[in-house]
Structure formats: C-alpha cells, structure tokens
Amino acid sequence: MPYTDIVQELLEAKEGEHIQFKEAKNRFDFGEAAKCCCALANNGGGKLVFGISDKRPRSIVGSKAFDQPERTRMGLIEKLKINIDFQLFQREGKRVLVFDVNSRPIGLPVQYEGVAWIYEGDTLKPISEDMRRNIYDEIGVDFSGTICAGATVEDLDETAIENFRAKWIEKSGNKQLATLSRGQLLHDCGAITDKKITYAALILFGKNSAIVRFLPQAEIIFEYRSSEASGPANQREEFKTGFFACYDQIWSLVNLRNDKQHYQEGFFVFDIATFNERVVREAILNAVSHRNYQFGGSIFIRQFRDRLVVESPGGLPFGITLDNILDRQLPRNRRIAEILSLCGMVERSGQGMNLMFELSVQEAKPLPDFTGTDDFFVSVTLNGVILDKEMLSVIRKISENNSELLSTEDFLTINALYHGQMLDSKMQDRLTRLIDLGVVEHIGRKKYVLARSLYAATGKAGIHTRRVGLDRDTNKELLLKHIRENNNDGTPFKELQQVLPGLSRSQIQVLMRELRADGKVICVGKTSAARWFINK
C-alpha cells in the first residue's frame, strides 16, 4: 500500500485498544511509549502513532520524538520481549512515526517493569487478575499442533524425514514403517493432518527455505568460545532447517572439543567426557520441545572449554518453576514432544530434565544450573568438570547395585549427603528407602551419611570415618578450647551454645556428657547457675 494511503487510513482510524495517537511534537518519554506498546500487545497488537493529533478531525502535526527509531525499536524489544517494527512517513513536510506492535504470545501477558498494561477504550490500566488468569488458560492450545497456513509437503526435507524413520524403526522394532510413504509416515506420527502441515512438522522436518518463509525464529545457533572475552566467537554455525536434519551435526560440533578427564580405580583408568552426550542432547531436546516459537529469538548453544550453555526463548512453560521442574511435566509443544518420544530421542515425554540431573550426579559433576532463567528465557548451564574423583568410585558402586531402583530424588539425596549439604523435605522422605537399600546409614539424631560399605568396597573406608567422626571431634575441641580460656571463672551453658550455634541445646548436652565421661571437664552447680571447668 502506498504510504500516502497508509497515512490517510491513520487519519481516519478510530483511536482505542489497537491504535493510539500521540502528537509528541518535540519529544516523548520512552517509558510511557513502552507502557503503550505493552498495552497494545496485550490487546492483540496495534500501532503507536507519533505526529498525528489524537482528537478529531485528525491532522498531521509532525513529531521529532525518537529521532533514531531503530534504536528505540530495539530498546522496546529488549524491554518487552516481543517483536516491534516501525514505519516513517513524510507528509506535507511533517514527520509521522508509527511503531507496529505484535500481539502478546499465547498464554503469556506482556509486562513492562513488572506490570502488564492494557487499554480499556483509551484508558491505560494494569490488567485485571481475571484477565491474567484467562490469558494463562490459553496455554492449553498447542502451537506445534496447529496448522501452518500455506505450507505443503514439498516444504519438508526428505533427509530429515528419513532420519526420523530410521530412529522410529530402531525404537519400535516395527520394520513395517520402512514400507510407508513419507506422507503416511508423517500422518501416522501426527506431523501432518489431512495433508495439512503442522508447525511441528515444519520445526522438525522443514527445509531451509520453508523455515525462513514461515517460522524464521525456529533457528539453532552454535557458538564455541575459547575464553570469556567478549567479541566474535571462535566458531559460529547457524542451523535454520528441520531439527532431524541437523541434530547430529550439532553434537559433532560439541564433541569436536570434548576433552576427556581421567580417573583411576585400582589398576583401571577410566575416561569421562567433559560433556556427556546424553546430557547435552537432552538439554537441546528440551529447548526444542519447550521454547516459545511465537517469541522472536533463536535457541543458542554456547560452548566453552569446561561448560556449555543452552538458552531458549519463552521462559518456563506455564505452571513450571525451578522448584517443581523435576516433578511436573508440561511440554509447551506437545506435538513435538510426542514425535520425539516416538523415535526414542526422549525416553518419556517431559523426563529429559530428570535424566540430566541423574547423569550429572553419576559423573560427580555440578548439577545443571538455571541461573539467568526468567519469564522470557530459559538458560541452563552444564558444568563439565568432575567435582570429586573420590565421589566417582562411590557413585559407581551405588549405580552397579541399585541404578534401576533409584529415582532422580534418590540421586539428588545421595549427592547432597556426599557434599554435606542440607536435605530438603523431599530428600528427607527418601532416607528410609535408601537405608533399606544399604546406601545410607543413620548415625545420630537427624544425622545421615552414605554407608560405610560403599566406601569400603572402593578402598576408601577412611573417608567414611572422617565424615562421621570429624565434625563430632572438632565440635568437642571447640568446646574444650572455650572452657580452657575461661577456666578460672567457669563457662555457663549459654556460652557453649554460642560456640556451636548450628547445634541444638540437646546436641551440645550430649557432647558435654561425653566430655565429662572422658574425664576432660567437670560441672559445678545446677541449672542456669551451673559452670563448666576443665578437669585438671
């Protein structure tokens, strides 16, 4: 449409929930513009117009606001995490600037500085809780299962389809799949329906030309950086094609710089890759299955020497938090997850995250780290350096005898016990079962350690002795040191509690009874007047 017609349409348009006019002859506040764009997005998208009067009959007044509109556009995208474009017109020698605001993504309100704004008529106001709940309820629609208008079977890559077929046959053992036409194969897995192409088909099997035309944000970008320094990556590869056409290439790039770490057990030397293939693939599969394809932005895989970061747009799916991410499964793109499950690329839909945590514990590496995850992006860091080679021997022994019996929460409990970390309520619930399996010992009131038999079987019984006895003996020495320094006046019990603030009153009483039984201290007086002295 010629720009003169566009301007004429704007002059005749009704101001309201999808179009807003601001004269802004000289300037306009960026924050106010961001609120307006936020509200337009939450209303389904619209236009923010500068340089046309907001009262009828409308006239072109011209605007000097935002003299670098591309810079303003990028700032709005950064703040709102939605796509925004702009148009610039000159009419009657006067400047008209129009920002075209995309609709909010399905199931997620757009926010500016923590507030989701909306227009009711011409009035800008925060979104109501009822409306917010209605938006969240929209997540029931599976974007990956909707039809991609205009796409045909010709837009799908034959190599990607055959890669999928081979994996499906391998997973199912059903050799009849080899006889199906490509169209029937795609229909049977749900990628196409009545010869119409779903977005899942496009994302998993699409040709480069089709991805570029219909869903350019369905892109995976790999970068390798040899250092933390900013600037261009040492290597960068962009994959804008169906996932089944590129997933092996992505792993090959990671594996190209995948160092081996050595540890010895007896006469045997074992190699452990810095980047576990299953863990890396699961992290990428999660990004492909759960990212929001209605958001702009690509999946990024950034590899460093000893860690790998996978970032995907869209934040965590509705109802999923970092606290329940291992307990609750809700794939944002169900059709994609189902197709990946059919061919065995994910063992059970939604369970890939559990596997990542389990394998990290089994290789004595740090747990996956979600630092940097927010409402708009998911970031998971896989640290590849082995934390403790002694732990590897213990974990290997546990896995040999019990791997099929242990849950993800069991592995996390074992990891926390080995590193002396606090156990949350879910871990505490696993203790009785782990004791029955011979993995854990109860050594005192609310105190648990990994079983001595595990350390002994790997020739590391001394580690168990140190873990059980070191804290107790250290605590006794601290108590004796404090009493010795105050021996003339004696030490009241409340001071002993100050020495060991992490222990309860009863725990300190037990330690003092043991010291008295050993003849190292004596107690003079009773109740609050009692004083403890070194026994000379």
- Residues 423-450 have pLDDT tens digits of 888 888 888 888 888 888 887 667 788 8
Predicted local distance difference test score (pLDDT) of residue 287: 93
The pTM is what?
A: 0.63
User: Is residue 370 domain-resident?
Assistant: no
Q: Is 149 found in the same domain as 129?
A: no
Burial of residue 365, with CB atoms counted within 10 A of its CB: 0-12 exposed, 13-18 middle, 19 or more buried: buried
pLDDT for position 488: 77
The residues that bridge with 220 in the sheet, in sequence order, are 239, 299
Specify whether 67 is located in the same domain as 186: no
Q: Are the beta carbons of 224 and 172 closer than 8 angstroms?
A: no
Q: Could you give the percent of the chain with pLDDT greater than 90?
A: 42
Domain interval for residue 152:
142-260+269-353
Identify the CA nearest to 368 among candidates 325, 405, 401, 398.
325
pLDDT at 152 over 60: yes
> Mean pLDDT score of the chain, rounded to an integer?
86
pLDDT for residue 122 = 81
Task: Provide the sign of the torsion angle of the four alpha carbons 129, 131, 137, 141, taken in this order.
Answer: negative
- Which amino acid type is present at position 240? K
* Residue 382 resides in a domain: no
HSE, side-chain direction, 13 A CA sphere, residue 466: 9
Residues 156 and 241 in one domain: yes
Distance between CA atoms of residues 24 and 54, nearest Å? 10
Question: What distance in Å separates the CA atoms of residue 15 and residue 119, rounded to the nearest whole number?
Answer: 11
Q: Specify if 362 maps to a domain.
A: no
- Does the pLDDT value for residue 2 go beyond 60? no
pLDDT for res 253:
97
279 and 232, same domain (yes or no):
yes
Domain count, the chain: 4
**Same-domain pairing of 434 and 478:** no
Q: Using the predicted structure, report yes or no on whether residue 347 has a pLDDT greater than 70.
A: no
3-state secondary structure at position 521: strand
Q: Which has the minimum average pLDDT: 204-213, 348-357, 373-382, 436-445? A: 348-357
Instruction: For residue 310, give the CATH number of its domain.
Output: 3.30.565.60
Does 377 map to a domain? no
What's residue 79's pLDDT?
84
pLDDT band at 348 (very low <50, low <70, confident <90, very high): very low
Picking from 442, 459, 476, the residue at the C-terminal end of a domain is 459
pLDDT at 350 > cutoff 60: no
Confidence band of 140 (pLDDT split at 50, 70, 90): low
Name, of 123-137, 248-262, 438-452, 487-501, the range with top average pLDDT: 248-262
- pLDDT per residue over 388-398, tens digit each? 887 887 887 78
My answer on whether 120 and 195 are in the same domain is no
In whole angstroms, what is the distance from residue 63 CA to residue 24 CA? 5
Q: What digits encode the pLDDT tens for the residues 79-126?
A: 887 888 888 888 888 999 999 998 887 667 888 887 889 998 888 999
311-327 residue pLDDT tens: 999 888 777 788 888 87
CATH assignment at residue 527:
1.10.10.10
